[in-house]
Amino acid sequence: MKILVLNSGSSSLKYQVIDMETEEILAKGCFERIGQPNSFLTHKVNTQKHTFEHPAKNHEQAIAFVLSRLTNENYGVLQSLEELGGIGHRVVHGGEKFSNSVIITEEVVEEIKKCADLAPLHNPACILGIEACEKIVPNMKMVAVFDTAFHQTIGKEKYIYPIPYKYYKKYGIRKYGFHGTSHQYVSSRVAQIMEKDIKELKIVNCHLGQGCSVCAIQGRKICRNKYGINTARTEYLWEAEAEI
């Protein structure tokens, strides 16, 4: 089975096509400056990078062009879109509603929209990507994978802030976590490489990039998490404060 994975940003679209049988990345790329002048696509396949200047006023036009490259006889990795088994969307914030990945339905889209206030720079872009795919490939199965899902394993005594409880009840103000897909995968790989049951391990897991976060993981649950913002460097990474 071949899967298309999309990460929709406010003015960008990152993607990969993965052969799930071999776990090989067949193609990857990034469409930049969506909705702006001089938008362009960087498309990588067979170790070769191709750059296309192409106008894209919105995510629908960007995704349509990406799909045309994936099926192109010179740059593509698919004979047709029917080869795709599905499309996966990375969604930044699922609030308290989503603790696992889910098949995308109208109800799921509405719930993601409700979480937009918790991630105003990210969730609206995710919705644009989902809605664009619904128009272009309407019969394709799609799955939403949430950055916050893994962090739903943290205990209530850790995610409730020491502020009036009414703010949590009324506005949903609580500690969430980010880069959950990264933390979940890396901790699982640690257990696999060490040839140990993850339930027996205590792990401090670091995600370092333009955004950074640290999680203390015991078994398959998060004991403590910290999320820091950096600008170009990782000097502002917060301390893990892991009690493990």
**Which active-site residues does the annotation give?**
147
**88 CB neighbour count, 10 Å cutoff:** 19
3-state SS assignment for residue 37: coil
Measured in whole angstroms, the distance separating CA 89 from the mean position of its chain's CA atoms is 7
**44 CB neighbour count, 10 Å cutoff:** 15
Q: Cα dist. 221→37, 40, 116, 207, 224 in Å?
A: 45, 41, 26, 17, 9
Q: Which helix (H) or strand (E) holds 207?
A: strand 202-207
